[in-house]
Structures are given as C-alpha cells and as structure tokens.
Structure 1
Amino acid sequence: MRKKEASILIVDDDDDILFSARISLKKYFTEIITTNNPKKIGNHITAQTFDVVLLDMNYRIGFEDGKEGLYWLQHIKKISPETTVILMTAFGNVHLAVEAIKKGATDFILKPWNTEKLYGIVNAGVELARSKRKTTQLETVQERVDKDFHQQTEHIIGTSVAMKKAINLVQKVAPTDANVLILGENGTGKYVFAKEIHLQSNRKNHPFIHVDLGALNENLFESELFGYAKGAFTDAQKDTLGRFELASGGTIFLDEIGNLPLHLQSKLLTVIQNRKVTRLGEGNERPIDARIICATNAPIHEMVNEQTFRQDLLFRINTIELQLPPLRDRKDDIEILATHFLKKLNQRYRKQLSFISTAALTALKNYNWPGNIRELEHIIERAVIITDNTSIELEDLHFSSRKVTTNAPVTLNLEETEKMLIQQAMDKHHGNISKAAKDLGLTRAALYRRLEKHQL
C-alpha cells in the first residue's frame, strides 16, 4: 500500500504511547513526528506544516481534568488554524469531548485505541486539513481577483506570419510545465499570451495569478509574493498567503521582471530553485506548485551583460523564450484588430458603428504604433466615443504627437516640452522603456511616472 503524503505530529508524555502511535501510523503516512514535551509544539508547527496533530489531554501526574490538553489545543489552532487536532485521553468523558470540539478539536479518541480506528480518524483529519487549506486558498484568490486581478481575457488575434509563429510556439509549450519568458515592447500583448498559455495548459482549472513587479513596492516584495505570518509586522493581523501559494496548482505570471532590483532577484531565484517559500515571520518552508511565466519589455540579455540582471535567474525563467512582434511588424493584423476593438467598444458604449472607412484603415496601417496594440485600442475607443458618424472616419482618429523635426522646441511651455521630448524618445526607440529612459537621462521608474502623468 502506497503511503499518503501527509505530516502528523503526535504529542504525549508517555514514550510508549508515542512509540505505539508512530508504529501504527507510519505505514500509512509519509511523515510522523513525535514529542513528549508539549512546550515544543510551537517550534514544530512554525517549522513546518502539519496536517494533523494527535494531542494528549493530560501531562501532569494527578491531574486528569484535560485542561492542559484544551490549553494546547487553543495554542495550536491560534498558530495553525487549518491543522486538524485530534485529542487523546485514557479517561473517557463526554463533557470534556464536547468542550474540546467547541474549542476547535475535530475528534476525540480513547487510549488504548484500535489501529484501524486510529487510522480512519487520522486519515479523515488529513483530508479535512487539505480541504480547509484549499478553501482558504480559493477564498483568498477570489478576494484578490475582486480587488485587482480581474482582467478580461482576450483570445490571441492575428493571421500575420509573425503572429502565426508566436501562436505555434504557444501551442507547443502550453501543455508542458516549462518556465516561459515573454519578451516584447509595451502593449504587444504579453499578458494576453501568458493567460492563453495558462488556458491551454493542464493547469487551466486552477488560479492564474498576475503580479506586476514594475508596480510593486520593494518593501512589499516578500510579503506580497511569499506571504506573511500574523504579527510579522505592524499591520499583519492574520496569516496571509503570498502570490506563489495563491497560484498553487495553477500559474503565476511575473510581469515586468526586468524591473526587479538585483537584491530581490536573488530572493526570487532561491524560491524558483527550491520550489519553496518562507512566509515573513516564519521559519517554515512551504512547497509551491505553480508554473512560472515571466515577461518584460526590457532588453534583458543586454542587462545580463551589463550585470543589472542575474544570468542564473535568466537561465531559470527562460526555458522557453517567446518574442512578441511589435504592431509595426504585423500590419496585416491591424484591420482585424481594429474591427475586433470596434465590435467590443460598440457593446461597451452602446453604439452601432458599422465599419472603419478605407481612409481611416489606411491611416492606421501607415502609423508607426509606438504604443502597439494598447495604443490601437485607445485610438479606436476615442473614435467610438467622439464620432458623430455611422462609421469610423479618418477625422475621428487622433494619433500621438509626431516626431519633432527640429532641434528647437515648438513651445516654451515646460509641461508640453517634456511631453514632446518623451514622445520623441519613445518613437525613436520604438517603445523600449530602457533605451528611451537612458536617452532622456532618467531612470526607468521616473520615465514610467512621466508616461503616466502625460497619459502617453
């Protein structure tokens, strides 16, 4: 009979009882830990996750009221509420059993026990603990989704040669568990491709957790990704799962990984290598089961040469590397994409625009698209909102500022000049944030703030 993957802690001051319980259970479960000192319970539970604790009710000679067992029961449930606690006593007392159940115990067994009955009770306890953890995970995932994870899924759209190549790679890699690194400029659809890989994988019925590392405060990196224990810091009111644990069984999408500072890259590398996370405020390593997909618009191979990105981390995350083409290299797809957005935005704004005119389509195809698909959707959305026509016409389109053709600014307004220079740098480097920032003498973070400020 194959042993069930489970961790059981047995606590009793009688070494013979510990030996007997261990012998009875070790043929059924993979890990049995024993201790004759209840004061060590806290150390054991914070060091690792236990499915079940078998807990004696009496530890002092002459005291058979079970109060110590009830005390340690409450201590366990406070530290690890999802752990199943089964109380043991040689003195059957219905009132004591009822009180124990009220305080969080799952069951009550009398010593000496029947081995089959002990196995049945412990096995049920293991399943209950796993069910509680799964429920907690699903509730937390739903809470995250409701707050900031919900994004409408769009199927990949495009028939150009460049897109067919990318789609073909997705179809090959999706059924595997290989780590994927998606490269591409801003607005090329990295999120959409990551979600599509998840939806075509064997993990599709489990969570897809999106983490924008570019927007994540460095001080929150560990608590957000790895989770934290109650009391780990001032506002830590309860044990909280990190994004890696939330993604259990599914996929975690680490967006803008090129923005991650070197000192945090090493922490991420450790987690990916060991497939374990340690919550802040705990010493307990928790195994993770999540497929890892990363993305960046940064020149990550150049960053390795410049020693601003760890080569060993790059090796870990790019088992498969997927390069997404910019929109200017797949202009055959512009009409398909624009028509798709028109249909979607007609529904959103309750419009009935029938088509995009030939003149408007020609203008869309001739534009350079520094903002790629995201910019195309923005332009179509604006046209849908402002047009008085029955279709999208050339005059309804509003493109971003054109490249400056003179060395002198066309305005002395400081805000306008800044916006113009940023647009010029973005156009020059085809939306590459790192190169544009370097050209402007800014950090990537500073350029991101200015792009948001000017709505570019």
Structure 2
Amino acid sequence: MTAGTILVIDDNKNVLKALELFLQMHFKQVKCISTPNQLSTIPQLQQTDLILLDMNFSAGINTGNEGLFWLRKIKEMLPHVAIILMTAYGDVELAVKALKQGGNDFILKPWDNHKLLATIQSALALQKTKKEVLALKSKQQELKQVINRHPNLIVGNSKALNHVLQLTHKVAKTNVNVLITGENGTGKELIARELHEKSSRKNEVFIAVDMGAISESLLESELFGHVKGAFTDAKETRTGKFEAAHQGTLFLDEIGNLSLAAQAKLLSVIQNREIVKVGSNTSVAIDIRLICATNCDLEQLVAEGKFREDLLYRIKTIHLEVPPLRERADDVLLLADFYLQKFAIKYDKKTVQLHASTKAKLQQYQWPGNVRELRHAMERAIILSDQPLLKPEDFVLNQVTTPQYVMQNTLEDMEKLMIEDAIHKHDGNYSAAAEQLGISRQTLYNKLKKMNL
C-alpha cells in the first residue's frame, strides 16, 4: 500500500463510491466529497497529496469551465498538491487548458483502473520530486547565506580608500571582470567581497581561491573538478571551484602565481564560459562574476614572458588599486581602535586603551605589512600586556635585525621568527622572503597559514 492522502471530488455518488473502494486498496488514506464547496470541511486539508477533480458539477453543463475554475482556486489554496482532472466530455483543447493552468494530468470517464492507478502514482512521484527540489533550493539558499555571512568590515575614511570604494560600488553593478592589485595585507579580498555584496549576485555564493596555496598538479582539479577515476586518488566525482561558484562570484587571489600552462586553461574557460572536468569530455556551462587579485606587477610579468597578455586583458576589464596603509595615514588610528576593541573582547581585556605616545608611534610608522601587520601588532600587544594602557614599548615594529634564534624554545618558534624576520626585511614581499629562506612561495604560504601569521 502506497503512502499518501487522496481526495476525490465528484458530484456522482456512484463514481465516488467506486473510486473510494478501488483507491483504498492502494493508498493509506482516501477522502471523498461531492462538491468543491466542501473543501473547507476537510480536516488536515494541507496534508493532501493528490486530488481527483471532476470538471462539471452543474446539471446540463459539460464545458469543463467549473473544473478549470476550481483548479485555479485549489492551486491558490494548496500550491503543492497534485491535481488530476476527470470528465466524461473531454476533448484535446480542454485537456490542454487544464494542464496549462496547473493540472498534472487529465483522464476520461469511464476509466481503466490500471491506467488510473498508473496516472495517480506518476503524478504523486512527480509531486514528490518537485517538493524535494523546493526543499533542496531552500536548503541551498540557507547554505549560501551561511557561506556569505562574512563580516565585510572595511574600516577607514581616508581620501585614498574612499576613492577605491566609490569605484568599487560603481563597478559592482556590472558583471565585468575585475583585477584588484595592491601590496600584501592591504585588504584586496575585502574589496572583492564588497564588489560581490553590492552586485546583483549578492544572494549567491562568493568563493575565494588562493592560487598560491594550490600545487600545480592539483590546480586543474581544484578549479574545474574531476570525474571518478580520472587519476589514482579520484575516488569520487568532485565539483571544482568554477562550477561551485555558478551564478555567484569567483575570487582568484594571487593570480600572478599561475604557470603559463595553467594560464592557457584559465583563458579558455573565461573565453568559452564553460569548463571540462579532468577525465571528462563533457563541457559544463558556467555563469560567474570573476574577480582576480595580485600583488605582482602583471604588466612587468607580461614583458618578461611570464604572464599571457591576452589573459591579462580578459581579467582586467576594470582595474582597482588598493592603496597601502602608508597612504592612508588618517585610517591608522581608526584601524588600531577597531582591532583594539575586537581583541580586547576576544582576550577579555575590555578596559585596555592606547597611550597618547603609542598613537603617535603608530601614526609615524610606515606599515610595510599594511593592515595585516597592524592587525597582528594590535593582537600581540593586547595578549602580552598586563597594563590598562598600551605603551609604545608594547609594539615592536620592524625592529628585528639579527634575530636571536637560540633564545627561542622550540624549532617551531625559531622557524616562525625567521619567517617574520624575512617578511619584515623585504617589506612584505613574499617572493623575496621565500627566496631568502630557500623555500618556494607556495611553501611559505602554507607555513604562514599553519602558523596563523
């Protein structure tokens, strides 16, 4: 016996009885009424899964207009219920009208029991699928809201920052590709998120990918996905970042790290607006807003033959340059106060404040690591200080010369200090820092993430 509640509406008592006896053998609950006017008397009407609706209820009238009228009414009351219309005076035109107005199917009297049962079961299956799709869409929307629940706090009121934000808000209304450049730590991802949140795609996903943290061998799979069995470890089909960002925004950070081979594949995807998963021959159409970012001089890389000029033109329809913190002097204390409040709450030091001389020191410093360096400096000072006032000596700003590695307790401490020293020495240039340390830029990225630097 199939689960489901069936409601039969027909003014012929013999029809009602015959249908009730037959349907009770196949469905758990069958209800019958002789006129649609009795719908309000049905208990738990909202739980009805399918309605068999006669199309004529007045003597001598067989146009089917009554059935079409009640079809519309019931759809307003029960938008997700399946409805099969019944009549002894059917024609093709009437059937087409019924289906166009929301009916699931149309059967003629007298009916064949086997055909009637198959029609009902088919309509129920279709309705169940529709409900599942609606539930998935609702869940998907909730997940998108959770994913996008990212506090996009751009702190500052300097002329340089406001200029970038004005351009950002103007560009956000379009779907053009945007290239965001700027030094490390300036907040390029925040600008990318601002573009997304002010765009028509704001209710869809924003997916950020750090290109510098993905190895060359895994890059294609990460971006475009793969099918099961495409390579040794491909134990299941996987969706790539491009497909996952469909109808939303895809942010490719550190785009300058791509190899020429990867650049060629990316260019093809941008041009054709479709991807092919690793191990597949089937293309998948994508609809994304592409935002890229880098701290490299891509024009110089093009001149050196390390970056494709045609790809640069594709990703750089609009160019936004995020100013370094040294050009946002008016924002230093605003940012310092923002992080002071944030970390004071986090580390339960709610009464801590900045001494006047500390403010002067923060304003005079050039901040080669930009906002990221300021954030770390504030957090470290709040953690280590036991006083209500943070004094200048609580901030050690780019004063590491010859680090005393032997004073550190562990190898991990030594490694962390060496990395910090190299980054400070090269004014936040990760490539130069990695070269000094004798490691690849990607390895440096991985260590920074592991150490939460």
Unaligned runs of 5+ in 1: 1-91, 108-123
- Residue correspondence of structure 1 range 114-129 to structure 2 within 5 A: none
Residue 288 of structure 2 is aligned to residue 286 of structure 1? no
- What are the residue-to-residue correspondences of 1:16-35 with 2, within 5 Å? none
Evaluate the alpha carbon distance shift between residue 302 and residue 421 of structure 1 in structure 2; reply closer, same or farther with a 3 A threshold. Answer: farther
Q: Is the 8 A contact 1:401 1:420 kept in 2?
A: no
Q: Following TM superposition, by how much is the alpha carbon of 1:217 offset from its aligned partner in structure 2, in angstroms? A: 2.3
The CA deviation at 1:453 is 8.1
Aligned to 2:397: 399
Deviation per residue, 1:356-411 (Å, 9 max, x gap): 22111111122232221111111111222222222333233233444x4xxxx576
Question: What is the match of residue 371 of structure 1?
Answer: 369
Are the structure 2 counterparts of residues 441 and 312 from structure 1 closer, same or farther at C-alpha, using a change threshold of 3 Å?
Answer: farther
The answer as to 2:345 corresponding to 1:347 is yes
State the distance in 1 between where 2:245 and 2:198 align.
16
Name the residue aligned to 1:356.
Answer: 354
Q: How does 1:229-378 map to 2 (within 5 A)?
A: 229-378=227-376
Question: What's the counterpart of residue 444 of structure 1?
Answer: 441
Aligned in 2, Cα 1:224/1:129: closer, same or farther, shift over 3 Å? farther
1:383-394 → structure 2 map (5 Å cutoff): 383-394=381-392
Aligned equivalents of 1:287 and 1:136: distance in 2? 23
What corresponds to 2:162 in structure 1?
164
In structure 1, the residue matched to 2:210 is 212
Q: Deviations over 1:285-319 (max 9, x none)?
A: 11111100011112222111111111111111111
Instruction: After superposing the two structures, state which structure 1 stretch, 251-260 or 431-440, moved more.
Output: 431-440
Q: Distance in 1 between matches of 2:143 and 2:450?
A: 33
| Corresponding residue for residue 434 of structure 1 | 431
Q: What is the one-letter code of the residue matched to 2:314?
A: R
C-alpha deviation, 1:132, in angstroms: 8.9
Conserved 8 A contact 2:344-2:352: no
How many residue pairs get aligned? The number is 339
What is the CA-CA distance between 1:323 and the residue it aligns to? 1.0
Q: Look up the equivalent residue of 2:360 and give its one-letter code.
A: T
- How far apart in 1 are the matches of 2:363 and 2:428? 17
Matched residue of 1:214: which SS?
helix
| Cα distance, 1:259–1:332 mapped onto 2, change above 3 Å | same
C-alpha contact 2:212 2:445 (8 A) present in aligned 1: no
Q: CA deviation at 1:426?
A: 3.9
Secondary structure of 1:249 counterpart: coil
Q: Quick one: distance in 1 between partners of 2:116 and 2:233?
A: 41
How far is the alpha carbon of 1:349 from its aligned partner?
2.4
Asked whether the 8 Å contact 1:141–1:246 carries over to 2, the reply is no
Instruction: Give the whole-Å Cα distance in 2 for the aligned partners of 1:449 and 1:300.
Output: 23
After TM superposition, list the pairs within 5 Å mapping 1:61-140 onto structure 2.
106=126
Aligned to 1:196: 194
Say if 1:196 and 1:272 are closer, same or farther in 2 by CA, change over 3 A: same
Distance 1:206 1:454 in 2: 32
Given that 2:144 and 2:204 are in contact with CA atoms closer than 8 Å, whether structure 1 keeps it comes out as: no
Structure 1 range deviating more: 308-317 or 218-227: 218-227
Q: Distance in 1 between the 2:280 and 2:141 partners?
A: 22
Amino acid at match of 2:206: F
In the superposition, the TM-score normalised over structure 1's length comes to: 0.64
Residues 129 and 265 of structure 1: is their aligned pair in 2 closer, same or farther, counting only changes over 3 Å?
Answer: farther
In structure 2, stretches of 5+ residues that fail to align are 1-113
1-structure distance, mates of 2:137, 2:221: 20
Amino acid at match of 1:381: E
Q: Distance in 2 between matches of 1:195 and 1:412?
A: 39
Is this contact kept in 2: 1:137–1:241, CA < 8 A?
Answer: no
Question: Structure 2: which amino acid aligns with 1:431?
Answer: G
Q: Is the 8 Å Cα contact of residues 352 and 387 (structure 2) preserved in structure 1?
A: no
Percent identity over the alignment is 44
| Aligned counterparts of 1:237 and 1:419: Cα–Cα separation in 2 | 36
Shift of 1:432: 2.4
Tell me the distance in 1 between the aligned counterparts of 2:210 and 2:193. 14
| Residue aligned with 2:218, SS | helix
Local SS of the residue matching 1:368:
coil
Residues 1:247 and 1:186: Cα distance change in structure 2 (over 3 Å): same
Residues in 2 aligned to 1:442 and 1:203: alpha-carbon distance in whole angstroms:
39
* Cα shift readout 1:44-93 (whole Å, capped 9, x = no counterpart): xxxxxxxxxxxxxxxxxxxxxxxxxxxxxxxxxxxxxxxxxxxxxxxx66
Q: What residue identity is the alignment partner of 2:174?
A: T
Q: Would you say the 8 A contact 1:153–1:195 is kept in 2?
A: no
Q: Is contact 1:298–1:432 with CA below 8 Å preserved after alignment?
A: no
Match of 2:64 in 1: none
Distance 2:137 2:232 in 1: 27
Work out the CA distance in 1 between the residues paired with 2:393 and 2:436: 33
Contact 1:204 1:250 in 2 (8 A): yes
SS in 1 for 2:389: coil
Cα distance change of structure 1 residues 365 and 436 upon mapping to structure 2, 3 Å threshold: same
The one-letter amino acid of 2:431's match is S
The letter for the 2-side match of 1:186 is N
Q: Per the alignment, do residues 323 and 236 of structure 1 end up closer, same or farther by CA in structure 2, a change over 3 Å counting? A: same
- Bigger Cα Rg: 2
Residues 278 and 284 in structure 1, CA contact (< 8 A), matched pair in contact too? yes
Q: Secondary structure at the match of 1:364?
A: helix
Cα distance 1:151–1:386, how it changes in 2: closer, same or farther (>3 A)? farther
Secondary structure, counterpart of 2:212 in structure 1: coil
Where does residue 176 of structure 1 map in the other structure? 174
Tell me the C-alpha RMSD between the 2 structures. Answer: 3.7
8 Å CA contact retained: 1:140, 1:246: no
Contact 2:145 2:203 in 1 (8 A): no
Aligned to 2:378: 380
Do the aligned partners of 2:248 and 2:289 also contact (CA within 8 Å) in 1?
A: yes
Check the 8 A contact 2:212/2:441 in 1, yes or no.
Answer: no
Contact 2:177/2:316, CA 8 A, preserved across alignment? yes
